[in-house]
Amino acid sequence: MPSTPLVVLNAPLDMHLHLRDGEMLQNVINGSTQTFSGAIIMPNLVPPVSSKEEVIAYKERISLAQGDKKFTSYMTLFFKPSYDKAFLSALRDEITAIKLYPAGITTNSEGGVSGFDVEELRPALDAMSELNIPLCVHGETNGFVMDREAEFVSIYEKLATAFPKLKIIMEHITTKESVAALEKHENLYATITVHHLFITLDDVAGGMLQPHLFCKPIAKRPEDRDALLKVALEAHSKVMFGSDSAPHPQHAKENCGCAAGVFTSPIALQLLTELFEKHDALENLQAFVSGNAQNIYGVQPLAKTVTLEKKPFKVPANYNGVVPMYANEEIAYSIKEVKNG
């Protein structure tokens, strides 16, 4: 019998991850620490992580929850225009990036930025430029839901022009306009999720509403997905994998006020392997899930080798009460082995 095809990934990284806190942190962390070497951890808790003490305390809670799993939490701070160089210098060694949210645009973002006046933001962003702290941005306006990200591209371009030494990460991009912006400004980069490479709005709401595929930014049109696929599959040097895996309790997803977020961390590498194989691009998967992130952020992840095999895997109905993408469905690849060191 022919051997089962194997795919080996070295030190995979998730450059946009929600681990939440408390019981939810305990419930979902293994989905990331089992197969990833590290992840950029989002700060939108309640209250948000906005001080050195809060960063250190949150990292300690994550460390306690992960136990003996080999995994690096790359911590972020919730952006506030009031941050100055003295404040940021004091916690530079504790964080990898700072995350900016437009006020009220997504989960726990009420304390975000209400306006994007360059001069109001200048003190904080100049300090970040000088200290080489990347700015991660959830890029949506409060306009019509399908247009929010495309409308935000002009803000990205304004910031990129005003702060040319600031590394700006366009998080979880979903539109062809965001992809095009990568080529216009040297200091713009992007993360792309696994779910936005698979689905369009039609999958979310074209038939029966699929609450576990609802997220912000919402999935867009086929031509937008095609634009994402092109740069992801070629492992464009300015894009990297960020799951935006965003767990919510099942009851919070399956109600009339459906919470935004898709939980993918336990199956992300399997889905990406399936996708890259389908498009004859497996040779680029390593760069997309690790190499590009290392170059963009300048991080050196812990050694971890993940071996995947082309063996059907039935996605569980839930992981400790959190329903994943493609629950109860069969996907093409399984995790065969994980080695640390």
What confidence tens digit (pLDDT) does each residue in 191-224 have?
A: 999 999 999 999 999 999 999 999 999 999 999 9
Backbone dihedral region for residue 280 (phi beyond 0: left; psi -120 to 50: alpha; all else: beta):
left
Token couple for 238:
């300015």
Average model confidence (pLDDT) across the chain: 96
Domains by residue range for the chain, with CATH: 6-340 (3.20.20.140)
Q: Which of 14, 68, 84, 244 is catalytic?
A: 244
- To the query of whether residue 244 is one of the catalytic residues in this protein, the response is yes
Residue 277 reports pLDDT greater than 80 = yes
Three-state DSSP at 207 gives coil
DSSP string covering 110-151: TTSBS---HHHHHHHHHHHHHHT--EEE----SS-TTTHHHH
**Which pTM does this prediction carry?**
0.96
* pLDDT recorded at residue 1: 42
pLDDT at 3: 57
For range 69-77, the mean pLDDT: 97
